[in-house]
Amino acid sequence: MPAVCRTCACMARRAVVAVFCVAGLSSLAQADSIRGDCRYNGETVRFSDGVVYREADYFDERRSDVVVGLATFAIDKNAMAATKQKSHEIVHQQHMSHGGRLLKLRFAGGKVTGLTYSGGDENFSIATRRFGTLQIRADDANHVDVGYVLDGDTDELRCKLDFDLAYATTTVVMSAGGGVEKSAAEGKALPPGGGEPGKIFQANLFAMRSGDFDAMLATVTQAQAAKMRAQKNDPDFAAMLAMMKAFAPTSANVTGGRDFGDRAELVIDAVDQSGAKATGTSTLRREGGQWKVDRTSMKSGR
């Protein structure tokens, strides 16, 4: 895939926020939401994909730390979910990317206790009781929503990042919080088309294809609407909106799903703009008695 297309895909993911993330050639949907960048030795690094997992603490295996991996390359989420050696796996994927950058943050107790940066002939790790400023907005079984700021001198690593990422796990379905939840047989089966949740999903997709920002806001959850409004202030917003339209599937059929009362999970078959078949899931939440799209992830068959 040409480099220019990778850049476009990254812009599209930023514009979609966590409402409709199109994965193109990757094995699963890309990072739910990553904003900001890091700077080191005059280079600005913008991460386009990410994943979260838990790992035993360095000094006490009875405890687990949260580990965040941010990458400039597409992460194979299937491989991450399938292995217990997740740190080894993501480093292996970095090597196979031939030049990709990787930032790993380890945190516990509300503080970053370890940092690893590699790529571009640089590779260093720092372990400390506290490194940078961490703001945790959410951390549950589904996902982490975090802000991180690291200040340094001109030639040192400096970062200002916001990310909302799903945990890598195997027994999952896509969850409303942007992460994952255990599969369950409970809930009421939805018919082809998805019933009322399916109608809202289609309205959201139509708004995205049309580039109708207000219509998109009207069909998403309050949390996602707030993120989208914040992105509207981005100087590249118009370009991101146009790119989002370009990456929206040309058609999408809801083949079924389940209604859990306050949450609905839809199963989707789609066709992307290249004509390739795609599959995915969409999670909706009931807010104020109305269904709202919270997360849609698609993967292409190519």
CA distances (Å), origin 176, targets 8, 104, 143, 229, 293: 26, 25, 10, 19, 9
Mean pLDDT score, 89-105: 90
Is it the case that residue 171 has pLDDT exceeding 50? no
Q: For 104-123, how does the pLDDT look when each residue is reduced to its tens digit (9 = 90+)? A: 999 888 888 888 998 877 78
Block residue for tokens 């969409």 = 282
Give the chain's mean pLDDT: 78
Q: Write down the pLDDT at residue 301.
A: 53
Write the pLDDT tens digit of every residue in 41-84.
888 999 988 999 988 876 777 788 899 999 998 888 778 887 88
For tokens 């219509």, what's the residue?
A: 215
Contacts of 2 (CB under 8 A, 6+ apart): none
Residue 103, token pair as written in the block: 């930032």
The predicted structure's pLDDT at residue 29: 32
3-state secondary structure of 174: strand
Which amino acid belongs to residue 224?
Answer: Q
pLDDT at 82 (0 to 100): 79
pLDDT: is 280 or 148 the higher one? 148
β-pairing verdict for 158-166 and 173-174:
unpaired
- Those residues with Cβ within 8 angstroms of residue 154's Cβ, 6 or more apart along the chain or in another chain: none
Q: Cβ(204)–Cβ(20) under 8 Å? A: yes
Q: What are phi and psi of 128, to 5 degrees?
A: -160, 170
Residue in 67, 34, 46 with CA at minimum distance from that of residue 119:
46
Cα separation, 32 vs 22, whole angstroms: 10
Give me the pLDDT at residue 242, please: 82
- Domains along the sequence of the chain with CATH: 43-177 (no CATH), 188-300 (3.10.450.50)
Q: What is the pLDDT of residue 26?
A: 27
The most distant pair of C-alpha atoms in the chain lies apart, rounded to whole Å, by 58
Cβ distance 51 to 165 under 8 Å? yes
User: Across residues 16-30, what is the average pLDDT?
Assistant: 33
Alpha helix (H) ranges present in the chain?
A: 3-16, 77-82, 86-96, 195-210, 213-218, 222-231, 237-247
Q: Count CB neighbours of 181 within 10 A.
A: 21
Q: Taking residues 290-299, what's their average pLDDT? A: 85
Q: Look at the block and give the residue holding tokens 């549950």.
A: 140
pLDDT at 12 over 60: no
User: What pLDDT does 127 receive?
Assistant: 66
